[in-house]
Structure 1
């Protein structure tokens, strides 16, 4: 991949993806967005000059075009090969009698609305990459959108209830991903929703069975194998297809 953009890269999975891509030189240019630069992300930037940190609060859509301009200036005619919409928030397990409207609004704003609107803003750069790499098959080396979803967004697998804000926002993101895959088909841009697993991060908690490194290694093994037939699917980090 020539260029990759990770939305929400200050910690957890996003930071892990940045480390993976820079350490293994999986991309020529890596863009990482965050609201505040953590010391760890800053240190990675010092070690790898191909990492560009961009300030972005995904809830502020007025800043999207600035990010697009910065990426366009750095990539030129090459465009953006891979967009990973990773920024997310999650409320704790909540039964119906405790759920609050503000929780629903926050989760939908960050987990659903932001990925849709960011993809819209970055679409010209994705199209540019697809055209610049017309000799390559549909996939992450040509042009792709990867939306970080969750098994909790699966309606078929919901046997516990609760988690209203998070479940609903991720189910909606899955629906958006499917629509993207349909609209992007003629542009030869892949769109897929990926569940990274239950990972030990600030969001996932200490009891999660997966460490960040394992999740990301398997995730990219899966991403690198995806083709046109996989666009619009809901997949687990290891490639297993998940039910809607």
Structure 2
């Protein structure tokens, strides 16, 4: 069993993998507080109901690309945790715009990069002092989600080594870049004992994945929870799938 996780921050928690993962985290990790972000109240009724039933869920209405709000969010984390810091950051929010080389547009490329790359990097940057505090406060606890960890939700479509079909330029490029950023984080934050991994949740039956996807949300989240629970220093800077297998960069 993983070390005690006192605080979790998850983006895009109002639907799909994010919402299901939030439910499982509450059930199995029982953190003192979970910060859950969402964009649109009109499509977040289930998340709101979950927060009403669980007083340790702290809702934050924000678009991850609203960079001016990041500092405000960090102050909220500092206040709510009482200076104890943040144990686990789950950069889950993302978009998928698909286009072949002959039709890809600058707008599609920019949108994917903005949400899937710039936002996770800059939100992590802003929350880094909170992650550092949690790691420092963890004393001799082993590296993992009970200490401090960053999980960037990527995709196997971002694997350069695994790309044998081409296409999907905006999404592939944004996730490949996110993988590179994750590797950089793992190197930069190693001395602070903060782990960083890129996580592929699988091809999942969500609004993004579509009905033809091979995994249900429950199957994906069950695997993700197992990965989180057993995350350790040997996996720092790795590209890991929902079933625990390491993927090629």
Normalising by the smaller structure, the TM-score range is over 0.9
Q: Does 1:206 align with 2:211?
A: yes
Gaps of 5+ in 2: none
1: distance between equivalents of 2:246 and 2:28? 27
| Partner residue in 2 for 1:56 | 62
8 Å Cα contact 1:6-1:32 kept in structure 2 = yes
1:153-192 aligned within 5 A: 153-192=158-197
Distance apart, 1:23 and its partner CA: 3.1
1: distance between equivalents of 2:138 and 2:149? 12
Length, aligned pairs only: 243
Residues 129-163 of structure 1: CA deviation (Å, up to 9, x unaligned): 00111221111110000000000000111111110
| Partner residue in 2 for 1:65 | 71
| Partner residue in 2 for 1:6 | 10
Give the direction of change, closer, same or farther, for the CA distance of 1:25–1:145 in structure 2 (3 Å limit).
Answer: closer
8 Å Cα contact 1:140-1:226 kept in structure 2 = yes
SS in 2 for 1:235: strand
- Range 105-114 or range 14-23, more displaced: 14-23
SS in 2 for 1:26: coil
- The list of structure 1 runs, each at least 4 consecutive aligned residues, that deviate by more than 6 angstroms after superposition, is none
2: distance between equivalents of 1:89 and 1:226? 26
Alignment counterpart, residue 217 of structure 1, candidates 192, 215, 222: 222
Distance apart, 1:21 and its partner CA: 1.5
SS in 2 for 1:5: strand
Root-mean-square deviation (Å): 0.9
Calculate the TM-score normalised by the size of structure 2.
0.95
Residues 93-137 of structure 1: CA deviation (Å, up to 9, x unaligned): x21111110000000000000000000000000000001112211
